[in-house]
Structure 1
Amino acid sequence: MKNYLAWLKEEIKSLNTTGAVMLAFMTGAQLMFYLLNEITVLSTVTLLATLLGSACTVYMMIGKPINGVLGLLSAIGFIYVNWTAGHYASVLDQLVFVTLIDIPLIVTWKNWGHRIENGVKHLSVAGWSATFALMMAAWAVTFIIYQHIGDTNPMWDALTLIIGATASVYVFRGYGDSYSLWLMADFVNIALWFTAFTDGYSASALPMLLTMAFYLMTALYGRFKSVWSK
């Protein structure tokens, strides 16, 4: 544990200028949302989850496995936020992320980065075609299921689960193509929380919408700039 904590400290200090500027912006914006509105348990959890989640994606985009700890902590908050919003599929998506990415990163903190050093795998054209076909079939089934159990936004929420879970599986299996899937998931999450904001069914909609837009920026950076993507 002592070695792990020392390693975490070094990883935190590895943040580059781009990531630091992005996190500073998100911290200021989220604090503004928090202080200008009624302070509740939900708003407090949302603040902590969005800040930890933003830090998680920044460290992920620069290839640092510290995001395992940050991802686990933020996921706990996002599970609560999505549950209160009635986004039950997104709750499951977070659980899949924790199981396939966060926990393995925490357990294998000494050698997780070796998969980058040794080169990551990439899908072939046939692999992408099969992936899309399976995702669309799974979305159709998942949409019906979550519609029946009372999800507030089953169309976008079910798609969030399918794309996010697929991306988590590919990260677990060592595929750099996961960043392309994260990009898709971010667009869908933006649509999900934009709908929540316009329909007014979640007090967390605006800070979550900003967070999803931030995730999109980090995914774009990671897709074209990061070691993991390459």
Structure 2
Amino acid sequence: MFNKYYEVLTNLPAYSHNIFRKDYLPWLIKQCLGWGTFSYALLAFNFILQLISVFSSFNANPLLAIITFIGGNLSVACVIGISNRSGIQGWAGLISALCIAWAAYLAGNFATVCEQLGYIIFLDIFCILDPQWNSTMEAAKIESKKEWLGYGLFFLITWLACFNIFSLTSDPRVFLDSLTLAMAITGSLMELNRKREQYYIWTLASIFTIALWSQTMLAGDGNFALIFSYSVFLLNDFYAFFSVKGWFRTI
């Protein structure tokens, strides 16, 4: 289960050469080429939405508007990069996670802060060090009700723990905030075990995250940027479900 993490950590000098090489920047740029039309359309659509958000919220809080604009664009680039198995996902994920964590901290969504930092530590850094992190991924299907039950119990226990922990803080939206964190942890576990049904979890997580940031914006602690980006995530998830070349048709 943790073989890939062990391999990277025990060979860190060798993997660090993937970053400190002369052609690294041109290589990163090439990672954004050759994607499908739908991927580029989502990027462009999200960029337009992010422009609307930054212009509408700039006067109220210029720094927050700019940070969420960057996070909103790069988070979508990261997710689409993952769909295209592109090496750009590591840097896009890391920078966007920092932006979203900063916005979440200001809003008091402390569970989301932990979620984003977890992505950085357990996913983004390793994707940067190993450009081929997802290139040989082979997804497996959940075969039994017992396995489904196991993931369901894991989610419920995780949510209960997150809810109780963050109830001790001043988190104003602890129900939704802890729920999205529990979904992220469960989805990450399924991703680690390469279960294709993880897309059910990520789809639900997108829906509840949209609800979380909608509440945050209505309370005056956020803007449309992350609502827009997670809505695009949802479109990408639907594509994975129903496209002929999507996740469930190619595995």
TM norm structure 1: 0.89
Residue 222 of structure 1 is matched in structure 2 by 240
Q: Is the CA contact 1:101–1:171 (under 8 Å) kept in the aligned structure 2?
A: no
1:120 pairs with one of 132, 139, 147 = 139
Secondary structure at the residue paired with 1:2? coil
**Across the two proteins, how many residue pairs are aligned to each other?**
225
2:162 pairs with one of 137, 142, 153 = 142
For structure 2, list consecutive stretches of 5 or more residues without a partner in the other structure. Answer: 1-20
Q: Is the CA contact 2:109–2:173 (under 8 Å) kept in the aligned structure 1?
A: yes
Larger RCO (CA within 8 A; separation ≥ 6) = 1
Alpha-carbon displacement from aligned partner over 1:157-188 (angstroms, at most 9, x marks no partner): 00111111221233233333322211111111
Q: Which has the larger helix fraction?
A: 1
The CA distance in 1 between the partners of 2:128 and 2:155, in whole Å, is 28
Secondary structure at the residue paired with 1:148? coil
Secondary structure at the residue paired with 2:31? helix
Q: Which moved more, 1:207-216 or 1:120-129?
A: 120-129
Q: Could you tell me how far 1:227 is from its partner in structure 2?
A: 6.0
Q: Is the CA contact 2:85–2:134 (under 8 Å) kept in the aligned structure 1?
A: no
Q: Is the CA contact 2:72–2:228 (under 8 Å) kept in the aligned structure 1?
A: no
Alpha-carbon displacement from aligned partner over 1:111-145 (angstroms, at most 9, x marks no partner): 53012xxx222323322211111211221221122
For structure 1, list consecutive stretches of 5 or more residues without a partner in the other structure. Answer: none
Residue 15 of structure 1 is matched in structure 2 by 35
Q: Could you tell me how far 1:147 is from its partner in structure 2?
A: 1.5
Secondary structure at the residue paired with 1:114? coil
Computing the radius of gyration over CA atoms, which structure comes out larger, 1 or 2?
A: 2
Q: Could you tell me how far 1:56 is from its partner in structure 2?
A: 1.2
Q: Is the CA contact 1:52–1:70 (under 8 Å) kept in the aligned structure 2?
A: yes
Superposed CA RMSD in Å reads 1.9
Secondary structure at the residue paired with 1:139? helix
Counterpart of 1:148, as a letter, is L
Q: Could you tell me how far 1:215 is from its partner in structure 2?
A: 1.1
Q: Is the CA contact 2:70–2:99 (under 8 Å) kept in the aligned structure 1?
A: yes
Task: Check 1:168–1:65 CA distance in 2 against 1; reply closer, same or farther (3 A cut).
Answer: farther
**What is the aligned-residue identity percentage?**
24
